[in-house]
Chain A
Amino acid sequence: MKWKKYLLPASIEEALEMLAEYQGQARVIAGGTDLIPQLKKRERKVECLVDISRLDELKGIELQGDVIRVGAGVTHQHLSSSDLIREKAAALAEGASAVGSPQIRYMGTVGGNIVNAQPAADTAIPLTALDAQAEIVGSQGTRLELLESLYVRPGESTVNASAEILVALRFRALDGNEGSSFGRLAKRRALSLPILNAAVVTTLNGDGTAFEDVRLALGPVALTPFRARKAEEALRGKAVEGEAVERALEVAAQEAQPRSNPLRASREYREEMVKVLLRRALERAVRAAEG
């Protein structure tokens, strides 16, 4: 491990100063549930850790107009038990409650889940489906970016955790005719990374019979969280049940192209499961939108 300094800043500003002082040799730590194992295995090296987990500025979940703003320091525990999130972004609450174990959910944060840049992170998938934006501060000030654009490859984010801080994630609170849901396959019900996970956000037409809009996110089927855009296209304007849905699921399985992995499952199985997970998630999202 071998970091030489462990700092506890009192504000975002101070955290940024600390990072700046170490000129790339320091790194942000939040819950540490990703970073500490990486440091233990020496997959990363740092001189200094800047602990942002006590910054109240990062811990809020708020409704601002029709936008929900989730602080990057919000833990999975907090996220999954927040009434606002459960009502207005159910998929995110469900995703957060699927992370690891109670201990990991108490420690781990949504910000860490994003910046760690795993293609199947359980809050990243719903946030992708929610079309979230990320608020990032650095010495140059604040920038706003689409969540999707933060991903480079597994483990690599465009957020430079040695100089910048992801402050919050924002997305539109779902309306009455909208619904979302999250689904996941894993070896067991706790302490398991997903074999496959999926999040769905749907907007229904006036009488609730057809999809006005759909967003489908999947992981881990690509190097980054994956939007099944062709399948979304195939669903738009179509009836919420029937042929079109089945065709769209085929399209999703085609475009997702999951790979075989001895620890997860074969390509064939995972392709098949893309359809099952999405079908189930769609059904639940539609029900939520109707209800």
Chain B
Amino acid sequence: MEVLTMKLNGEQVTVEVKPDAMLVDVLRDQLELTGTKEACGEGECGACTVLLDGEPVTSCLVPALKARGQEVMTVEGLASGGDLHLLQKAFIEYGAVQCGYCTPGMLMSAKALLDRNPQPTEEEIRQAISGNLCRCTGYIKIVDAIKAASEE
């Protein structure tokens, strides 16, 4: 076992992990942050997207120890205090959520986009979520929600 210390959703955490553990598994199984989903395990769907030092990464391909000393943000870290993040509110209000399995990953990709580009065009939004598959919504309301959040 190895000691992994990272800043997770704003808080310093330390966990013992297997040297070959994947970040998604540490988050879901050890830290019980099951908001992050795993839907392919191969980097091909984006469901497991989290922010590593502010950048969107597919946590199913990230060895947990890569996060040593870094900042990790999951969907659980989006809301601050009792307040939902603008993106979360917009996803609810615009009907961007159906089964919701893709939602946490979508939100994190969207957050990464807005952090860099607060006023993205529709094409930029579509590009930013092109690594996140959704089978339910046809993406349209997701794009609308991200646009609405960016205009707030």
Contacts and interface: CB of A to CB of B under 8 A. Distances in A.
Q: Do chains A and B touch in the complex (CB under 8 A)?
A: yes
Contacts of B109: 102-103
Interface in A187-231: 189-191
Contacts of B66: 6, 32, 51, 53
B130 A102 contact: yes
A37 interface: yes
A107 B58 contact: yes
Interface in B38-68: 41-44, 46, 49, 55-58, 61-63, 65-66, 68
Contact of B42 (A4, A37, A107): A37
Nearest to A77: B55
Interface centre among A33, A36, A40, A53, by most B CB within 10 Å?
A36
A37 B130 CA distance: 20
B55 A5 contact: no
A146 interface: no
B131 interface: yes
Contacts of B95: none
A33 B65 CA distance: 15
Nearest to A39: B20
Interface in A4-30: 4-6, 8, 29
B81 to A, nearest CB: 28
A93 interface: no
Contact of A6 (B2, B57, B133): B2
A100 B127 contact: no
Contacts of A33: 43, 61
Contact of A40 (B41, B49, B56, B62): B41
B128 interface: yes
Of B19, B44, B61, which is in contact with the most chain A CB atoms at under 10 Å from its CB?
B61
Contact-residue size bin, chain B (C-beta under 8 Å from the other chain): 20 to 34
Interface residues of A, number: 27
B19 A101 contact: no
Nearest to B66: A51
Given A32-B63, A40-B41, A106-B57, A4 B19 contact: yes
A49 B46 contact: no
Contact of B57 (A2, A4, A103): A103
A53 B56 CA distance: 15
B40 to A, nearest CB: 10
Contacts of B49: 103
Nearest to B61: A36
5 interchain residue pairs of minimum CB distance: A101-B131, A190-B130, A6-B65, A1-B20, A106-B55
Interface of B: 2, 19-20, 22, 41-44, 46, 49, 55-58, 61-63, 65-66, 68, 109, 112, 127-133
Interface of A: 1-6, 8, 29, 32-33, 36-37, 40, 49, 51, 53, 77, 100-104, 106-107, 189-191
